[in-house]
């Protein structure tokens, strides 16, 4: 079964359920602020574990106390349900790390 990119309307509808996430061209994006560099690094490691589990990887940027992500399905060049599944899992991690 081929994975199809979501329409702009479908993306907007799903983003309404994920506060802090926004469209970014053919991707969805989110940044988190954490209490320290160590907390941000720990969150990146935790995100990497989830990505491996889902076999779906985002682009991550680690700043001093920030983690920024852009998510899309590389093989279709757009946003799919797989991206929202990953975003929901990442959102579930955020409170564990004190991310805002």
pLDDT tens-digit map of 49-69:
999 999 999 999 999 999 999
Of 26, 38, 42, which Cα lies nearest the Cα of 93? Answer: 42
Fold that domain 34-100 belongs to in CATH: Gyrase A; domain 2 (3.30.1360)
Predicted TM-score (pTM) of the model is 0.94
Ranges of each domain in the chain = 34-100
- Residue 6, pLDDT score: 97
Angle at 23 between CA 64 and CA 87, to 5 degrees: 65
- Residue 2, pLDDT score: 63
Provide the pLDDT confidence category of residue 78 given band limits of 50, 70 and 90: very high
The CA distances from residue 9 to 5, 26, 79, in Å, are 12, 13, 12
- Residue 68, pLDDT score: 98
Over the range 51-69, which residues count as b (16 or more CB within 10 Å of their CB) and which as e?
beeeebebebeeeebebeb
- Residue 3, pLDDT score: 82
Rounded CA gap, 28 and 15, in Å?
A: 8
pLDDT tens-digit map of 11-50:
999 999 999 999 999 999 999 999 999 999 999 999 999 9
């Amino acid at each position: 079964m081929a994975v199809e990119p979501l329409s702009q309307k479908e993306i907007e509808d799903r983003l309404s359920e994920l506060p802090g996430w926004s469209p970014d061209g053919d991707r969805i994006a989110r940044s988190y602020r954490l209490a320290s560099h160590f907390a941000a690094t720990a969150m990146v490691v935790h995100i990497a574990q989830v990505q491996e589990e889902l076999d779906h990887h985002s682009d991550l940027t680690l700043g001093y106390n920030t983690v920024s992500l852009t998510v899309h399905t590389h093989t279709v060049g757009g946003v799919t349900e797989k991206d929202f599944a990953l975003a929901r899992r990442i959102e579930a991690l955020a409170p564990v790390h004190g991310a805002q």
